[in-house]
Amino acid sequence: MTKDNQPFFSIILPTRNNAEYLKGAIATVLNQDFDDYELIVSNNFADDNTEEVVKSFNSKHLKYVKTDRLYYYNGSWNFALSHTTGKYILMIGDDDGVMKDGLKKLKDEIIEQNYPDLISQPIVRYIIDQNRFNFRQYHTIEENNIKAAFERTLRGEIIVQAALHLVFKKEIIPDHKLYSIPYPDYSALPKLLYWSKNIYYSKLYVVIHGHMGKSAGSIFDQKDFKVIKKGSLDFAKAVDNLIPFKVLFHSNGYFASMKKALQELGLRKDIDWHLYFSSYHANLNLMKSYGNDIQSDLDNYYKELAKQPILIQLKVRVRIFLRKLKYFFKKPSVERLDDEITLDGTKYDINNIVDLSNLTEDMIVKMKKDLQS
């Protein structure tokens, strides 16, 4: 702890009805070779044995809080954030973990970089129940000009490597309402960029990011358009008056989150509608490639596009044409899975990921090189 007893890091861990994995997630944080942090486990009105799991740990670093009712993701995350006292905030999910030496190395790096407002970091992505680590490379643009990073984010460009696991200085947030609908992590991204004076792109691996069937983003793995539409009912309410289409596609949620953040920041700006319509069309084509009937949705798409200014219509149609041209000349390729490995034939899940937290950055770099060789 610092001299005034303020921890350097506050790690927030919102959870609901996922006690099975929560125990392992907590253990990775409390297993740190480091002392300058607090862990806020925030129970979003769970009706399983979450409280029992949390209270099974005895640590001065652990703080347990519980909501008085069930919140949507953004309300749950803001509730957890409101209980933090640290200088820097890091959020993890209940199927995530933290590298054993991650926090110590990150603090040293932050101090060395003169306490930046915002820190982006790479992550190790762990696929739950599929016995594998995933080292998929995320396309990231390192834009150190914070205003330019903000503008590019509104255009749909990925400026940070993991919006969920951004590390940020608590003092830059004017209140505890950082997270908004529909996707709390993406709605927080433009706000943090707008409030920050600088951003630092760390190369350290700190977070082990879990992905499982219950994860919020798992709907994007669906190939059945009917299933996606069925899951879009609550989403449609959240994005009302934000975007034309209410289907639960990732791009819809991203751009709706950007627009919501702009409204809450009180800015007279807008999202890039050219990229919004281009992305939606690409999503429809993906559904078609899986054998889904998209004709009625395509008809509605062009009706909505016709309401846009002529310049946007032209840009979108040119983009669609170029994409078709690209696929026409593209040679068929075999899908490669060389970015995924099994560790010594052993099955791991979040409950024994404490052992995996001993993986050092050097070990990860070596394994990535082995995969790419």
- Walking along the chain (373 residues) 10 residues at a time, the average pLDDT comes out as 79 93 91 93 95 96 97 94 97 90 94 97 71 61 90 85 87 91 94 96 86 63 86 90 94 95 95 96 94 96 98 96 82 46 55 58 60 48
Are 97 and 150 found together in one domain?
yes
State both tokens at 367: 């394994």
Domain assignment present for residue 113? The answer is yes
User: Given the structure tokens 């190790």, which residue do they identify?
Assistant: 124
Domain that holds residue 265: 222-329
CA atoms within 13 A on the CB side of 189: 30
Are 83 and 168 found together in one domain?
yes
Look at phi and psi of residue 180 and say left if phi exceeds 0, alpha if psi is from -120 to 50, else beta. beta
Are 88 and 150 found together in one domain?
yes
Are 81 and 181 found together in one domain?
yes
Yes or no: say if 219 and 228 are a contact pair by the CB < 8 Å rule. Answer: yes
State both tokens at 157: 């460009």
Q: Could you give the CA distance from residue 208 to residue 353 in angstroms, rounded to a whole number?
A: 9
pLDDT score recorded for residue 350 = 58
Q: Could you give the CA distance from residue 198 to residue 194 in angstroms, rounded to a whole number?
A: 10
Q: Taking the complete model, does pTM exceed 0.95, yes or no?
A: no
Domain assignment present for residue 3? The answer is no
Q: Could you give the CA distance from residue 184 to residue 188 in angstroms, rounded to a whole number?
A: 6
- Number of structural domains in the chain: 2
CA atoms within 13 A on the CB side of 52: 7
Domain assignment present for residue 163? The answer is yes
Q: Could you give the CA distance from residue 225 to residue 237 in angstroms, rounded to a whole number?
A: 19
Domain assignment present for residue 178? The answer is yes
Domain assignment present for residue 337? The answer is no
Query: Please, what's the b/e burial string for 210-224 (b: 16 or more CB within 10 A of its CB; e: otherwise)?
Result: bbbeebeeebeebee
- Partnered with residue 38 across adjacent β-strands are 10
Output the domain CATH number for residue 125: 3.90.550.10
In the chain the first and final C-alpha atoms are separated, in Å, by 43
Are 365 and 292 found together in one domain?
no
Q: Tell me how many degrees the CA angle 73-79-80 measures, rounded to the nearest 5.
A: 90
Are 182 and 229 found together in one domain?
no
Are 210 and 226 found together in one domain?
no
Are 226 and 193 found together in one domain?
no
Q: What is the number of other CB atoms lying within 10 angstroms of the CB of residue 90?
A: 26
Q: Could you give the CA distance from residue 189 to residue 118 in angstroms, rounded to a whole number?
A: 10
- Identify the sign of the CA torsion 348, 349, 351, 353: positive
Q: Could you give the CA distance from residue 137 to residue 135 in angstroms, rounded to a whole number?
A: 6
Q: Could you give the CA distance from residue 187 to residue 74 in angstroms, rounded to a whole number?
A: 9
Domain assignment present for residue 339? The answer is no
Domain assignment present for residue 169? The answer is yes
Are 209 and 86 found together in one domain?
yes
Are 284 and 360 found together in one domain?
no
Using alpha carbons, select from 81, 75, 63 the residue that is nearest to residue 12: 81
Are 197 and 249 found together in one domain?
no
**Could you give the maximum distance between any two Cα atoms of the chain, in Å?**
64
Q: Could you give the CA distance from residue 177 to residue 97 in angstroms, rounded to a whole number?
A: 25
